[in-house]
Amino acid sequence: MTTSFRSATVESNDAMVRFDGAVLDLQYAEMIAESIPHIVWTASPDGATTYFNRQGTAYTGHPREVTYRWNWVALVHSEDAERAAQAWHHATTTGTDYSLEYRIRRFDGAFRWHACRAVPLRDADGEIRLWIGTATDIEEQKQLELTLRHAEQNATQVVTLLQSIDAATPIGFKMVDRDLRVTRINQTLAGIDGRSIQDCLGLTVSELVPDLWPQLEDVYRRALGGETVSNVDVSRRSATEPRRMQHWLASYYPVRVDGETIGVGNVVVDISERKEAEEFRAVVMDNMAEGLFAVDVDGLLTYLNPAATSMLGWTEDELRGKPIHAAVHFQRADGTKVPAEDCCLLQVRTQGRSIRILDDAFTRKDGSIFPVAYSSAPLRSGSLLQGVVVVFRDITEEKNERSAAKRELEALMWLGRIRDAIDENRLVLYSQPIVPLAGGRPSEELLLRMIGRDNEVILPGSFLPVAEKYGLIGEIDRWVVTQAVRLAATEHRVIEANLSASSIGASDLLPFIEQQIREAHADPANLIFEITETALMHDIVVGEAFARGLAELGCGLALDDFGTGFGSFTYLKRLPITHLKIDIDFVRDLVTHPNNLHVVKAIISLARAFGLKTIAEGVEDEQTLKLLKDEGVDFAQGFHLGRPAPLRDV
């Protein structure tokens, strides 16, 4: 039974064998095969295993002979065995390279993933003389997508080394002696600086890469000391493209003969494209407007991009390794708790499929809640679930825009209803009595209502804001003025009517009021027009001009909701006001809230000082009415004295 590399590879006593123009030093190759920290094996042209290095016997715990011929399949995991055997049969039948990942049983019964590679060595006539293969343990790398690629490339390089030192491969390889002089190198590695293999042989590493030597000297010294140094990042400016950086992942192995280290083997993988892709992904994730975070299978945070930090108020360092649900997703928009088992973010782990939520809520570090839309997807390495990645955005503005659009649509619907009501004479006036408390003439305030198509009574708060926004309020105010003037003329009652801020600013309103008074032969003293402090604040100059115009006509002017604005004293000083209406907020609960009484007393005192009459709104009980009368209020209005009623019922 064959037990040595030389007898396994070729039936010859010669120490040197030529394959396809390349000379293979069998003794040297066996030394390398026994030193490489990977499983190395050979097979005959028909695919039967003929050699297994000591790394293989140490890993499997079986003598070399147990794995010979096709017996190696018994060491492969049952789920992978058929696939591995079929792929090997295909390679040996077609003469193509063999490359596959599958699990191999270790001496203790555990299965570990290996990247298995094999290439045929051909003679000068192109006939396959043997296969040389490697099996590289990639169990840890299998768990991480990035390191998986590194392990596969390293395994390929080992195969390339055994195949032919001179062969050009996508993986760079070289060997140096104890003086760190290059003894073997392939064209891939030599060509990095535009050199040939011959140009590199005999150079020391410091001569070959002087710019990298300060970084690599310690690595080579450690390898000469017997340490394997893997996955060293090496970067330098490209010799052929000076504006581009090149990146390699390099591993350094001590090469031993009879226990003595005679040099260092170096496997180099060009990862420039991967690095550029990673840098591109990093730039994208760091600059994307959406927040992004990733969690592991236990729901613990592993990554948080800058946008997420900005929105959540947490830094990545503060949340790394902590449960993301407890930090940002533990409550709904209304503050009710979300149990971890109901967390949609984390259900992806168990369901294994992506989800998209259009309206949810996250909580910031400061405790504030904001609306979000997010997608949550499983984070996989091959078929293994590694965690969950979540992309989210703050939808506060979107919700506000949707709400505004909804309000706008509702307003447009109201606009049509108002237009129809005007055209169909479905605007009506209600009257509420204003009762004198200390002498004087009683009066009444006209209150606008709209009658719906089903005869329902619609209060002004539902339609006047829309009418004002879309330009119908002027037409409505003129209709109210006309009705108020006619009522004052025919019934000889004191009438109060409300005017909007928009109408006050209309230049033709005063002439219109004057014309209506003249045509109806009404006494202007029986007309009091109410405007709010808010209307005056809209444009004080225009408001002052309107107030003086009313005074010149002989009409009264009542300042409604007095005390709720910020310029009350200014209005009293500048405007010819005749009445102050004390706002209902001060009259309500007057008996039980001393502060309200203080405000009412101050307004009464102020009105007397300016020679104005006071009207208290919102009187709803006898006790309040008595208190107002005792304090010297001139007029009162409210449900206790009379509810608004249609004019036809007054």
Core vs surface per residue 570-592: b (16+ CB within 10 A) or e = ebbebbebbbbbbbbebbbebee
Task: Tokens for 336, please give them.
Answer: 């009710």
Core vs surface per residue 286-300: b (16+ CB within 10 A) or e = eeeebbbbbbbeebe
Q: What is the set of domains in the chain, with CATH numbers?
A: 1-163 (3.30.450.20), 168-278 (3.30.450.20), 288-394 (3.30.450.20), 404-649 (3.20.20.450)
pLDDT of residue 29: 61
Q: 466-499 pLDDT, tens per residue?
A: 888 888 899 999 999 999 999 999 888 899 999 9
Mean pLDDT of 582-608: 90
List of residues 6+ apart from 70 with CB closer than 8 A: 47, 48, 49, 85
pLDDT of residue 476: 93
Band (19; pLDDT cuts 50, 70, 90): very low
Mean pLDDT of 170-191: 87
Which amino acid belongs to residue 312? Answer: L
Cα separation, 562 vs 584, whole angstroms = 10
pLDDT of residue 86: 93
Kindly report the average pLDDT of the chain as a whole number. Answer: 84
Q: 494-531 pLDDT, tens per residue?
A: 999 999 888 888 888 999 999 999 999 999 999 999 98
pLDDT at 387 over 90: no
DSSP 489-527: HHH--EEEEE--HHHHT-TTHHHHHHHHHHHHT--GGGE
The whole-model pTM stands at: 0.47
Helix axes 473-491, 460-469, angle to 10 degrees: 120
Task: Tokens for 577, please give them.
Answer: 């006001």
Other CB atoms within 10 Å distance of the CB of residue 393: 18
pLDDT of residue 620: 94
- Candidates 45, 445, 71, 635; CA nearest to 56 is 71
List of residues 6+ apart from 215 with CB closer than 8 A: 234
pLDDT of residue 504: 85
Mean pLDDT of 294-317: 90
The pLDDT > 70 percentage for the chain reads 86
Q: Give me the sheet containing 39-43, strands edge to edge.
A: 49-52, 39-43, 128-137, 111-122, 98-105
The sign one gets for the Cα dihedral 186, 192, 196, 199 is negative
301 vs 168, higher pLDDT? 301
Q: 556-589 pLDDT, tens per residue?
A: 999 887 766 555 566 677 788 999 999 888 998 8
pLDDT of residue 601: 92
216 vs 648, higher pLDDT? 216
Q: How far is CA 35 from the centre of its chain?
A: 51
Q: How many CA atoms lie within 13 A of 85 on its CB side?
A: 14
pLDDT at 328 over 50: yes
Bridge partners of residue 494, in order along the sequence: 443
Strands 16-19 and 22-25 turn out to be antiparallel
pLDDT of residue 5: 52
The pLDDT > 90 percentage for the chain reads 40
pLDDT of residue 567: 53
pLDDT at 145 over 60: no
Cα separation, 586 vs 561, whole angstroms = 10
pLDDT of residue 21: 44
pLDDT at 541 over 60: yes
pLDDT of residue 147: 47
Q: Using alpha carbons only, what angle is made at residue 518 by residues 516 and 520, rounded to the nearest 5 degrees? A: 65
Band (340; pLDDT cuts 50, 70, 90): confident
354 vs 228, higher pLDDT? 228
Q: Could you tell me if 538 and 501 are in contact, meaning their C-beta atoms sit under 8 angstroms apart? A: yes
pLDDT of residue 260: 85
pLDDT at 8 over 60: no
Least confident among 7-11, 273-277, 416-420, 601-605: 7-11
pLDDT of residue 279: 63
What distances in angstroms separate CA 67 from CA 42, 71, 82, 213, one per listed residue? 11, 5, 17, 43
Band (280; pLDDT cuts 50, 70, 90): low
